[in-house]
Amino acid sequence: MSSVLYDKPGPKAKLRNWIYTGVFAVLVALALWWILDRMAEKNQLEADKWTPFVTDSQVWTTFLLPGLVETLKAGLIAMVIALPLGAAFGIARLSDHAWVRVPVGALVEFFRAIPVLILMIFSSALYVMLGTVSSDLRPLYAVVTGLVLYNASVIAEIVRAGVLSLPRGQTDAAKAIGMRKGQTMMYVLVPQAVTAMLPALVSQLVVILKDTALGGAFLGFADLMSMNRQISANYSNTIATMVTIALIYIAVNFTLTTLASALEKRLRQSKRGTGAVLEGDVAEVDAGGASGVGKAP
Amino acid sequence: MFDFLTSGQYDVLGAFWVTVQLTLYSAVGSLIWGLMLAGMRVSPVPLMRTFGTTYVNVVRNTPLTLLVLGCSLGLDQTLGITLAGGDSKEIGFRLAILGLIAYTGTFVCEALRSGINTVPVGQAEAARALGLSFFQVLTLIVLPQAFRAVVGPLTNVLIALTKNTTVAATIGVAEAALLMKEMLENEADALFAVFGVFALGFVLLTLPTGLLLGWVAKRVAVKR
Amino acid sequence: MKISKVATTAAIAVALALTATACGGSAKDAASDAGASGGTAKDKIVVGIKYDQPGLGLKTPDGKYTGFDVDVATYVAKELGYQPDQIEFKQAVSAERENLIANGDVKLVVATYTINDKRKAKVDFAGPYFLAHQDLLVRADDTSITKAEDLNKKKLCSVAGSTSAQNVKTKLAPDADLREYPGYSECLTGLENKAVDALTTDGSILAGYAAQEKNKGKFKLAGLKLSDEPYGIGLKKGDKDLQTKVNAALKKMVEDGSWQKAMDANLGPADYKAEPAPQITEGS
């Protein structure tokens, strides 16, 4: 392992690194030991709090898997609705006409500025007021509405950045062969931007999936998060249940994040296309983080 | 329609003040924690790199709601970590900040790491040629330049953090989202007015931050 | 009274078949599909219960439902002419109970549903079938809390937005350090780990937790009567006919001893001294 930030370790540096490793390992081990010790003291490590997740498949079939299905359902529906909506907004923001560009821009900026939780609480209250949605579906509707309002505006920015990331030559060449503005957008820019945006969109799906948990916590949405209460009502094992639920979220989201990174790498290396790739961090406005593919320094 | 603002029954400004406090404390904490994580992820010690990578991958993929609830139930209610005691309100406030730092730190770390990537290799090589140690290379040469490149991404992280403070409502911290939920339960007919007030509050918090730091980002960016 | 797995499956099959044929319009297939279920297959009753309150209304890992509320619901449904396999249970979280009834999503709500005037403006009640009181759950070895005033120096936990939490804040112990969580099981974690000293809500709910196999011997009820919470069965506003029938069913349940049996089976292990069934006051 070499890096531009430090020299290849010589004998002294190697020894020093080993000492750092040792000290760090001891610190981590101490922290872990202290946590486990405290948990054992509070009887949180008792086998019957944890074994239901291993031995009783019914915990999975009755609670966890249906919850996961609801989570994925809300996430995917939100993505499917937000995608075309966001694409339309993004393209509208690039319009040459101020009367299209400005109002859409204001709308996008407005919904990007508001926390998704506030949007969800609002949608839920709105559906209660309208009274047209059956109470069965209302939590799902409210969660999806909140997510769509927010993520459509985020996706609008992804699309805009995606189109802007393409080299100018593409537009110029399209103009040179006599394409109209709409044609240039539809046949030249958007198809290329879609490939460039793909990693950012997958990252956004992770953000959406994480945000569905808000619905479980606040709106009575029967998602994975909300199963915590039903399971621990049976086994009195809140901590164990939370850990299990967290692991499921991490497994699903980590798979998606890895997929996003792989996509990005592939797109970067592919000879075809313009080579423009939108990294996760350009667009992942909610969390602002990179998708972690930066090459080692 | 807006009588709920003057009735004195709801402290909207107070709730937003809690939101601002949550944001500021968490921002400072996340910056420090993110810096440490980034340092670990590029350090010469393999174990630290592994720790940094694992931590980032685990925490970034966990819903913040679960993380904040975990801080409250796991740290406070189980392990007895209350961060200097006090009553439940203070403890809840501090644990929410801790959860926000744990989560936001990963995004700060990733932003910094991509910032480090923008610093030309020659800078670090020249520094090493002068005989600087890893820590010196990082803190004296690379990070100052990296920081200037990541003001933009960090602004996005800060805005996201401002909005994410609403999640503290999960453990009963009396910030904006919790008040809004309570108000909507009592004043259902003023739905749009209530939403308008809270939406405006967040627009007022995030928009100036974005504009100001956007201007700073342009000014400090290293022209290459 | 437990619903067998086969019966539950059959009930679900009926429900599914009904939904499927609702558009097609052929009820004959539904009946033959359902097979196992007796009687007229197309009749079913939807009842709203709690899914997360042991002893009262709980969804267990095998997909069944147990608790006092469930038993009451099953008995009432039987009196209304529905076999256990014709009952479809639906989750009724506290905030949604009025909406479920008003929208016609459920026929009855049997979910720790306190009768009060605010709710009576939106729905009608039958009953009450049970009189609960706000009480405290403390650790079994804790003797320091005997009356409401003792709470002022204690750490207390309740569910956000519940009437019990409001009671503590405004009347019982304004100086208590009250922590509010979204659910009771979160509070229970803190109580078990000594991060809070007492959990407050209706005694019946607390007894349900204390009676659980995993919690035996860990907690006890303080036995205070801090408020009166008469539980009723919620039904659509203005449905006098149903109200009369449910009231009659509840009366019969008390008279033939099924009420006491259900009480002993569900809340008995917690040493919960339930008062005898209250007089029915609604709808007269």
pLDDT in tens, A35-70: 999 989 888 888 888 888 888 888 888 899 999 999
Mind telling me how many Å the CA of C71 is from chain B's nearest CA?
32
Best mutation target among A132, A135, A136, A244 (most C Cβ atoms within 10 Å) is A135
Residue C5 lies in a domain: no
Full DSSP string of B183-224: HHHH-GGGHHHHHHHHHHHHHHHHHHHHHHHHHHHHHHPPP-
C185 pLDDT tier (thresholds 50, 70, 90): confident
User: Which residue out of A2, A3, A5, A120 would a mutagenesis test of the B interface target, given it has the greatest number of B Cβ atoms within 10 Å?
Assistant: A5
pLDDT confidence bin for C2, thresholds 50/70/90:
very low
Phi and psi angles of residue A140, each rounded to the nearest 5 degrees, phi first: -60, -45
Q: What is the pLDDT of residues B80-131, one digit of tens each?
A: 887 777 788 889 999 999 999 999 999 999 999 999 988 899 999 999 999 9
Gap from B178 CA to chain C (nearest CA, Å): 10
pLDDT over threshold 60, residue B160: yes
Tokens (6 digits) for A6: 């430090």
For the stretch C32-73, pLDDT in tens is 333 333 444 457 899 999 988 888 999 988 888 999 999 999
Whether the bond into C84 is cis, omega within 30 of 0:
no
pLDDT at A236: 83
Tell me whether residues B202 and A115 touch, CB distance under 8 A. yes
Q: Does residue C60 form part of some domain?
A: yes
Mutate to test the interface with C, among A238, A241, A242, A244 (most CBs of C within 10 A): A238
pLDDT classification of C213: cutoffs 50, 70, 90: confident
Q: Look up the domain containing C182 and give its range.
A: 134-221
> Both C138 and C217 in a single domain?
yes
- With 60 as the cut, is the pLDDT of residue C13 above it? no
Domain end marker among C193, C221, C249: C221
Does C50 reside within a domain? yes
Q: Tens digit of pLDDT for each residue in C214-245?
A: 787 888 888 888 888 899 999 998 888 999 99
Q: Do A229 and C99 touch (CB under 8 A)?
A: no
Cross-strand partners of A14: none
In a domain, C283, yes or no: no
The CA radius of gyration of chain C, in Å to the nearest whole number, is 20
Considering only CB atoms, A290 lies closest to which of B114, B184, B198, namely: B114
**Which of C98, C151, C179 best tests the B interface by mutation, with the highest count of B CBs <10 A?**
C179
Query: A19: which residues sit within 8 A by CB, 6+ positions away?
Result: none
Say how far apart CA A136 and CA B32 lie, in whole Å. Answer: 45
Nearest to A5 among B42, B164, B169 (CB): B42
pLDDT value at residue A86: 94
- Secondary structure of residue C216 in the 3-state scheme: coil
Which residues, other chains included, contact A277 with Cβ-Cβ below 8 Å and sequence gap of 6+?
A165, A196, A199, A264, A267, A268
Residues C176 and C202 placed together within one structural domain of the fold = yes
Asked if the structure places residue B2 within a domain, the reply is no
Asked if C204 and C140 sit in the same domain, the reply is: yes
Count of CB pairs separated by less than 8 Å, A with C: 74
Higher pLDDT, A211 or C180: A211
* pLDDT value of position A297: 33
Residue type, B200: L
The residue ranges of chain A whose pLDDT is under 50 are 1, 281-297
Q: Exposed, middle or buried, A169 (CB in 10 Å: 0-12/13-18/19+)? A: exposed
C188 in any annotated domain = yes
Cβ separation of C52 and A128 shorter than 8 Å?
Answer: no
The three-point CA angle B83-B84-B86 to 5° equals 110
Angle, helix B46-60 to helix B12-41, in steps of 10 degrees: 150
Output the pLDDT for position C172: 82
Q: CB neighbours of B124 closer than 8 A, spacing ≥ 6?
A: A4, A5, A297, B137, B141, B142
* pLDDT, position A279: 60
Same domain assignment for residues C176 and C153: yes
| Mean predicted lDDT score pLDDT of chain C | 80
CATH of the domain at B39: 1.10.3720.10
Q: Is B33 among the domain residues? A: yes
Residue of C nearest to B82 (CA): C195
Q: How far is CA A209 from CA A147, A189, A215, A231, B164, in A?
A: 10, 29, 11, 21, 15
Is C262 in the same domain as C126?
yes
B85 touches chain C (CB under 8 A): no
Task: Tell me the chain A residues in contact with residue B176 when contact means C-beta distances shorter than 8 Å.
Answer: 118
Structural domains counted in chain C: 2
pTM for the model stands at 0.86
pLDDT of residue A272: 57
| Pairwise CB contact (< 8 Å): B88 & C155 | yes
How many CB atoms are closer than 10 A to CB B7? 9
Average pLDDT of every residue of chain B = 90
Burial B156-174 (b: 16+ CB within 10 A, else e): bbbbbbbbbbbbbbbbbbb
Instruction: Please give the residue range of the domain that contains residue B151.
Output: 10-220
Mean pLDDT score of chain A: 86
Q: Is C2 part of a structural domain of the chain? A: no
Instruction: Kindly state whether residues C247 and C119 are assigned to the same domain.
Output: yes
The reported pLDDT for the residue numbered B60 is 93
Residue C16 in any domain: the answer is no
* Phi, psi (deg, nearest 5) at residue B51: -60, -50
**Average pLDDT of span C166-183:** 83
- pLDDT, tens digit, 9 for 90 and up, residues C100-117: 888 888 899 999 998 988
Residue that is written with structure tokens 């609830």 in the block: B69
Chain C residue numbers with beta carbons less than 8 Å from the beta carbon of B72 are 181
Q: Is the Cβ pair C193, B78 closer than 8 Å?
A: yes
**Which chain C residues are within 8 Å of B92, Cβ to Cβ?**
179
Q: Is the pLDDT of residue B141 over 60?
A: yes
A contacts of C60 (beta carbons < 8 Å): 62, 234
Residues C104 and C216 grouped into a single domain: no
Say if B199 falls within a structural domain. Answer: yes
Q: Please name the chains neighbouring B, where neighbouring means 3+ C-beta pairs under 8 angstroms.
A: A, C
| pLDDT (0 to 100) of residue C93 | 81
Our CA-based measurement puts residue B86 at a distance from the nearest CA of chain C, in whole angstroms, of: 10
pLDDT on residue A291 = 31
Closest CA–CA distance from residue B90 to any residue of chain C (Å): 11
Chain B to chain C Cβ contacts (< 8 Å):
34
**For A38, which residue in chain C has the nearest alpha carbon?**
C193
Closest residue, chain C, to B88 (C-alpha): C179
* Average pLDDT over every residue of B47-51: 94
**Number of domains within chain B:** 1
Residues C60 and C115 in one domain: yes
Q: Are A6 and B125 in contact (CB under 8 A)?
A: no
Q: Do C179 and B172 touch (CB under 8 A)?
A: yes
**C23 in a domain, yes or no?**
no
Closest-CA residue of B relative to C196 is B77
